[in-house]
Amino acid sequence: MKTILITGCSSGFGLEIARYFLARDWNVVATMRTPRADVLPSSDRLHVLALDVTNPESSRQSIEAAGPIDVLVNNAGFGAASPAELVPLETVRDIFETNTFGTIAMTQAVIPQFRQRKAGVIVNVTSSVTLRALPLIAAYSASKVAVNAFTESMALELAPFGVRARLVLPGRSPETRFGDNARAHMHGFDHEAYAELVQKVVAGLTDTSTPVTHSQDVAEAVWRAATDPSSPVRIPAGADAEAWAAEVG
């Protein structure tokens, strides 16, 4: 029986990924800042751990506590909405600490066991905004583009050891807390210079006629990344993400 460790499992994509793998008889190590086993089905194959990905020691301890694993999914992350001119550098640093450095720290913590065992899969969940630029999320997009580049280079390094690295790129989803988190870190939306742009972007985000990504789309993409050695390094998840990926080739 295989074991998967997933970061950011308290809600959204991470929660659905954990449920998906539990339903397919995997051992699941679900990590959260504040552990809550009640959000997941009761199972003797479920282990819930506390993890703060912005703390390298917490990352190391979670990998150690989990024991041998077969797949690591770096899903934890958050965004902020702001014109690039006005986003505080402190917020930019917080975004990179979680989305970029947190992913790198978890990855570095797990590579030794994968490399020595000559097996293992690292799946980094980024975003389809790395395929197509959108306004007001420059810092978030930059943090995810950095993870893409890190993962693609790492995939070349680890292939000789039989270790795979994959990217899952979700589109816009109404089923996550990304919007709430981004609104909590909004800056400059009341600036008159950006009023027209903000209005246009908000209208687009509330448009229910356009394709979106559902949590199960992401879980299915992670399953493919974890179980299919022939899968590409970049796997779009969701109808909107797939359409964008097709546009850029």
Q: Which residues are catalytic?
A: 140
Pairing of strands 164-170, 121-125: parallel
Name the E strands within 129-172. Answer: 164-170
Distance CA 172, CA 191 (A): 25
For residue 3, give every residue at least 6 positions away whose Cβ sits within 8 Å of its Cβ, in sequence order, or none: 26, 27, 28, 29, 66, 67, 68, 69, 70, 71
What is the per-residue DSSP string for 21-66? Answer: HHHTT-EEEEEESS--GGGS---TTEEEEE--TT-HHHHHHHHHHH
From the number of C-beta atoms within 10 Å of its C-beta (0-12, 13-18, 19+), residue 42 rates as: exposed
Look up residue 201 and give its two tokens. Answer: 């972007």
